[in-house]
Structure 1
């Protein structure tokens, strides 16, 4: 089991701005430890402030949650938070706690866009999303309130990798729901096109992060 944050680290996490994730306290040693654990990142431009990662936001909002192991940084790809891609055999529990987790992860990701896109744009995906396509697209859908598919693959969306280097497939059994998923992804900075599976004749989406 991964060690939880120390009391001092927890105080630093709690000092973060709830919207931007900017850390307003902590020594250089404490901040470096949070970066190493994937809970914060140091902005590359002056004044080089530190900000929470999506996992850092999640830790801040949830007490007694295991921290991210250093060898699995950056935290956005860690097991601390994972967006639902649909069809999981053991999906995470729902309810208000899950809604807070998803909201915090999405707010953290938007902030990550602002801090890492060269022009500070928040309306298009950042580098992390381009290397974690399935999780990024699933987070956009879950944060917008779309229901993920259950363990039997029905009832909502499923996001899956494709052979294409920068595209994911989004499946949903109902046409209306599929169109709603397309609208959400487009609003989140993705390019979306609709296709038909040649074998099953089912409609699905191909989504790629927009670059401009």
Structure 2
């Protein structure tokens, strides 16, 4: 769970460039934002700092006047990456109303910006480094942002799971149509996906991995 920013950090976040999310501050201030997951340091010179999706949501919450991060109570990845935790399907039941939709849309737009800022060619149609090291969450975000419903204790939906392959995830869906729709979504999001059958259970699933070119 991400810790909320301090008052000083909140001022830096609120003052970020409205278009790019570029931040200004002292080295210590920017390092503190990176540590809490609200900023990342661009890998190329001059190594400027920019808002992560979590930082962008903090800024958006200020505009709405509630003063808190919309996902402050949602499960999140470790604070050093700060990227929104999409629902992978399973026990993590939660509301699926308008607030959740806003959070997911904001996280997806933030991830596209992260692609633009960190892919060497600025491409947004291809997963970035964070996605390649957080495969399950990244695939789940692509699915949830496109309107697919994650499975929970009361609802059938998609489930994204890690696999023994270091660069691939398994995606399960309630039926063949939902599985094909998930494959289409992932391919539009810059992944490559193929259907396979589990030898023991005969269950169909997708094996999906981030596209590199």
TM score, norm. by length of structure 2: 0.84
**Higher deviation after alignment, 31-40 or 201-210:** 31-40
Name the counterpart of 1:83.
86
Distance 1:172 1:27 in 2: 47
Classify the secondary structure of the residue corresponding to 1:75: coil
Note the residue ranges of structure 2 that are not aligned, 5 or more in a row: 62-66
Name the counterpart of 1:205.
206
Distance 1:176 1:3, change over 3 A: closer
Classify the secondary structure of the residue corresponding to 2:140: helix
Distance 1:187 1:135 in 2: 17
4+ runs of 1 displaced by more than 6 Å?
none
Distance 1:18 1:135, change over 3 A: farther
Name the counterpart of 1:60.
59
Note the residue ranges of structure 1 that are not aligned, 5 or more in a row: none
Which of 121, 125, 128 is equivalent to 2:127? 125
Question: What pairs with 1:67-106 in structure 2 (closer than 5 Å)?
Answer: 72-76=79-83, 81-88=84-91, 90-106=92-108
Distance 1:144 1:17 in 2: 27
TM score, norm. by length of structure 1: 0.85
In the TM superposition, what is the alpha-carbon distance from 1:135 to its structure 2 partner? Answer: 0.3
Distance 1:149 1:4 in 2: 29
Distance 2:145 2:9 in 1: 28
Distance 1:205 1:56 in 2: 32
Distance 2:195 2:30 in 1: 44
Distance 1:140 1:191, change over 3 A: same
